[in-house]
Amino acid sequence: MPTFSADVNLESVVYLQTLKAKLEWKHFERLMKIDNPTLHSFVAKYIDLCQPEQVYVSAGTDEDIEYIKQAAIRDGEESKLATKGHTIHFDNYYDQARDREHTVILVEKGLNLGFGIRTGKREELLKEVHEILKGIMKGHPLYVCFYSLGPVDSIFSIPAVQLTDSSYVAHSENILYRQGYNMFVKQGKSARFLKFVHSQGELDERKTSKNLDKRRVYIDLEDEAVYSTNTQYGGNTIGLKKLAMRLTINRASKEGWLTEHMLLMGIHGPNNRVTYFAGAYPSMCGKTSTAMMEGETLVGDDIAYLRRVDGEVRAVNVEKGVFGIIQGINSKDDAIQWEVLHSPVEIIFSNVLVTKDGDVYWDGHDGPVPLNGINHSGEWYIGKKDKEGKVIPCSHPNARFTVELKYFRNLDRSWDDPRGVPLKAIVYGGRDSDTSVPVEQSFDWTHGIITKGAALESETTAAVLGKEGVREFNPMSNLDFLSIPISRYVEDNLRFGEGLSNPPLIFGVNYFIRGGRGEYLTDKKDKRVWFKWMELRVHKDVEAIKTPTGMIPIYEDLKSLFAEVLNTEYPINLYEQQFTIRARENLAKINRITKIYSTIEGTPPILFKVFEEQKKRLLDAQARFGDYISPLKLA
């Protein structure tokens, strides 16, 4: 018989009575094993409000994980495919991406988080979402699942509890996150946990969310809770991913660490040396292809926590799996991902085409497009149109796969180290056709955070947004997920480097620079050379050329690396084209970025000072050498 703490108040007793009435004894016992009345009252509150048919409390055992996986098939949220371990999930045709309009950070009346951050009145919107949640789980099971963001039993660990009536969501999170039930038991009353409440709502005949007009994603910073209703798409429902980022960015800001939208990887240097890098890239800028580079090792592909430990920066992958975009993955360009996706391991595919043989096909897959099949629109055939007259592709551009990291052959052996990996470099990369060189080191931490991170821009692509070449401002590639003002976020990053005797070096990369005829000046594989050069710079193994905007490689060093890494020649005229400093375009960028920051309240004055100094260096060099400055003139 569970025992209850003497300090349990009358309100908690009422909640305990609710739990006793609604939970089978096994699940009640599991919940009571966690000595945390706040947790008990939270779970009971939403059982009362949402009225599920039954409640399953997961302790994260193999039996629990298997039960939820099979429930997703029994409930019809997933279906088996021909390959063992593979399942398919479809979202509603109009529920295929993050709902930006209805994703709102709840704030007290009068508080404004500023540029680009959607907020709403906390009291008013909490009332609204709780009205939507009333009785929403009737006829559905409720899964109570416990997770750890970051490695278990680590200074990075953040406990989280997910309430959901979707077996697909619970299954996905079991793949993506470390189990945290035992951590809750161990921490008891001291557990400071994040809370997630999700309901897919009423389902249609295809078992997809029906009432999209009541789709809501509300993020309550005060209570560190997220509410998600009438949606199944992972970006709106897998609470521990980008929704949790808003909560932990806010928490990190208060506590002096960082939550970043960054990959983590080990770059392998001379004499079996491994140097750990973080990298932030906006969408369609090469983040995944970088994380999966041949010859290097993967720690994480999406979200990282960074802390200062004993005078150095250490970082962890928040997750243990990948919720990846599948469009364009093929055997030639993406060998590692291709291998995993064609292995008989546990994978959830979402919104791809299922062929008559029970295989999957997506846009960019090897081979011809099948003539017909089943996809996110139902029965599909080439040329099918939706009710708006738009041709439906075989797979949605945002189609995904969910799989554990352990199946990737390039996984780094330290990926789950509770101490994190020692971070020696941070890389910022955007899609830039005319301004930045392929790789460049900043002068110092402050210069790097401001001119590489806070100034990050990316050009849109016609294939995605229908309007090519528009530069979008996206500081540290984290704008979509900020829950604090941009000015405070930049200040947090600047302060993070203070007091470090040897802070990570900061680099900018650009895989998309073009020549005068519009041709790309770099190849997809060239990034392998840029990272090898950066690794050498971290260890002071090579010198660099100082330019007005940063430090760039010496030709002879790159020539050697191209021969060693890619077994190819590297002509000096190509080097000169790639690394020409484009003074006019760089000056235009400074004007664009400083104009934006001049409208952002509280921008640190150092930002304007650093840009003014860079502007002066560019103007001086422009006066000496002209608009386009050959690196050979600066050597």
Rounded to whole angstroms, the Cα distance separating 269 from 130 reads: 54
Active-site annotation holds for 285: yes
Residue 95 tokens read as 């529920």
Q: How many CB atoms lie under 10 A from the CB of residue 589?
A: 23
Residue 615 tokens read as 């502007």
Cα 476 to the center of its chain, rounded Å? 12
Q: Kindly name the residue from 50, 145, 285, 394 that is annotated as catalytic.
A: 285
Amino acid at site 111: L
- CA distances to 42, 89, 169 from 177, rounded to whole Å, are 21, 19, 12
Instruction: Classify residue 581 by burial, with Cβ atoms within 10 Å: 0-12, 13-18, 19+.
Output: buried
Radius of gyration of the chain (CA): 25
Residue 504 DSSP one-character state: P
Residue 539 DSSP one-character state: T
Rounded to whole angstroms, the Cα distance separating 286 from 295 reads: 17
Rounded to whole angstroms, the Cα distance separating 284 from 60 reads: 35
Q: How many CB atoms lie under 10 A from the CB of residue 32?
A: 19
Residue 187 tokens read as 């921490």
Contact 370, 355 (CB under 8 A): yes
Give kind and range of the element (H or E) at residue 45: helix 37-50
Residue 52 DSSP one-character state: -
Count of residues for the chain?
Answer: 635
Geometric angle at alpha carbon 610, from 263 and 576, rounded to 5°:
70
Phi then psi for residue 192, to 5 deg, are -105, 95
Task: Spell out the SS3 assignment of 89-133.
Answer: ECCCCCCCCCCCCCEEEEECCCCCCCCCCCEEEHHHHHHHHHHHH
Rounded to whole angstroms, the Cα distance separating 301 from 317 reads: 8
Positions marked catalytic = 285
